[in-house]
Structure 1
C-alpha cells in the first residue's frame, strides 16, 4: 500500500514541476491575453503587409490588432470589405506593441499628413491626401474629366456583384471609387453653378 502512495506522490510532484517549468514560457502570452482581453494569434509582418498593400489607407496598427484577434488575412480582409474600416486598438495595445520611433522627420511628417492614429487615441481619424493633391490627380482621372464623362448617382449607388478573381474585384473597386469621385465632383460643380446663378 505504501508503494502506491509513493508512486502517486512522485507522479504529483512530476506534474507540479512540469507545470512550473512550462508556465514560464506561457507567462508573456497570458500577459498579452490579460491586457488585450483575448488570446492573441500569431501575426507575421507579411500578413500585415498583405492587407496594407490592398488597403493602404488603413493604419497598420488597426490591421495588426484585428489580425491578433482573427489570425487570418482572409477574415480581416472580409471585415474590411464588408464594413469598410477596422476598429482602432485600445490604449493597452500600445503597451504590448509600441509604435516604432520615426528615424527621420519626413516619415513622421508623412504620418501626420495622412492622419494616422496617435497612441491611445482610441478612435479612427480620417486619412487625407497630402496638401495640394486633388482626388482627380491622386486617382489619375484627368482624362475622364477632360473628356467630360458624367456619372449619375444611380451608377454609383447599389451593391456590386462579387467577382471570381482578386484582379476583377480590385478593378471593380477602383472603378467604383472613380465613379464616386466623379459624381462628387459633378455635384460640387452643380452647387457652384447654382450659387453663381443666385
Structure 2
C-alpha cells in the first residue's frame, strides 16, 4: 500500500512540474514558442540561406523557402525538394504568427516588371512562329517532303570551322521546320477533308 501512495505522489509532482514549466514559458514571452506554434523545432536559418535558394529559384516565394529551411536547416535539401517536386508547399497560417511577412524593398518592384516582360514575351511568342523566327518565309512554297526524320534533318557532317558548323545546323533546322509545317498542313487538309464528307 505504501508503494502505491509513493507512485501517486510522484505522478502528481511530475504533472505539477510540467504544468509549471509550460505555463512559465508562455507567461515570460507573452506568446507561445515557435516550436509549439509550428509543431516542430525550427532550425537556425540565416537570410543568406534564404537568398541563396531564392537566387536559384526566383519563382518560389521567400516565405515558402524560409519555412522549408526551418524544417530542414539545409540549403541543399531544400534545393533538392524544389528540383524533385517543382515547388515548395506554402507555410501554414501559424507560420505567419511567428514570422510575420516583411516587405522586401527590391522584391515587390521586380515581379511586376518581370511579369510585364513575361507578358510581352508571351505575346511575342504567340505572334512569332518558327517560320518567321528562322526567316523561312520565302522557302515555304518549296515542297520537298522527306519520308524519314533522318532525311529531313540530313546527316550531320563535321565541318572544319565553327561558322560552317553553325551554317550547317541552321540549314538542318530550317529543313526540319519546313518538313514539320508540311506535315501539319497535310494533317489539317486531311482533317478538313474528313470533316466535310
Normalising to structure 2: TM-score of the pair? 0.45
Q: Which has the higher helix share?
A: 2
TM-score of the pair, normalised by structure 1: 0.45
